[in-house]
Amino acid sequence: MTTRSELQSWLVEHGFPPNDYEAVIGNRTTPLMKASHLGNAAIVRMLIRGGANLKARNSDGNNALWLACVGANPEVIDVLTGAGIDIDNRNDNRATCLMYAASTGKAPVLAQLLKAGASLRFETLDGFSALDMAATLDCLNLLRHAARQSEAASRGAA
């Protein structure tokens, strides 16, 4: 378990004031975003317990979940989705974390986001969906399977 003094030390080490969970550094990065990117689940948990803003977005419109996906740490992704972060946050290009994972070939992250309920229905400003962006066969297959399940569920509900 991370202590408050360890959290304060971590904040200072990464360029934040020791008691400000909403401070920002370059690109409007918050402590929660930084810890998420680095894959530090203990710090992420403490920041959330301390009231860190799950709705904060950086200069690109990305939230902490996007940065957790960049870091590809499954525990941090689970912590954030479990805490209620917007899994379908759309950045300034209207891209979601699901699109990022698909476009970078991060199949395990993609699978985790799908399991957590990420939506397939969104498109970027250019009209591309996560399915359009699949960079690997694994990602394409995961997205096709999810799309078929979604269609089947829609037909069953009708």
The per-residue pLDDT for range 91-130, each reduced to its tens digit, is: 999 999 999 999 999 999 999 999 999 999 999 999 999 9
CA-wise closest residue to 84 among 55, 124, 46: 55
pTM for this prediction? 0.94
SS3 (DSSP) at 15: coil
Contacts 24+ apart (CB under 8 A), 107-110: 107/136, 107/138, 107/139, 107/142, 108/72, 108/74, 109/69, 109/72, 109/74, 109/77, 110/139, 110/142, 110/143
CA-wise closest residue to 50 among 32, 38, 68: 32
70/143 same-domain check:
no
Domain with 104, as residue range(s), is: 92-158
78/98 same-domain check:
no
The per-residue pLDDT for range 20-36, each reduced to its tens digit, is: 999 999 999 999 999 99
CATH number at residue 56: 1.25.40.20
9/74 same-domain check:
yes
Q: Give the CA distances from residue 48 to residues 59, 82, 116, in Å, rounded to whole numbers and listed in that order.
A: 21, 11, 19
The per-residue pLDDT for range 34-65, each reduced to its tens digit, is: 999 999 999 999 999 999 999 999 999 999 99
Of 56, 86, 116, the domain-final residue: 86
Rounded Cα distance between 51 and 20, Å, is 10
Of 57, 86, 115, the domain-final residue: 86
Of 86, 119, 140, the domain-final residue: 86
Rounded Cα distance between 143 and 120, Å, is 8
Number of structural domains (the chain) is 2
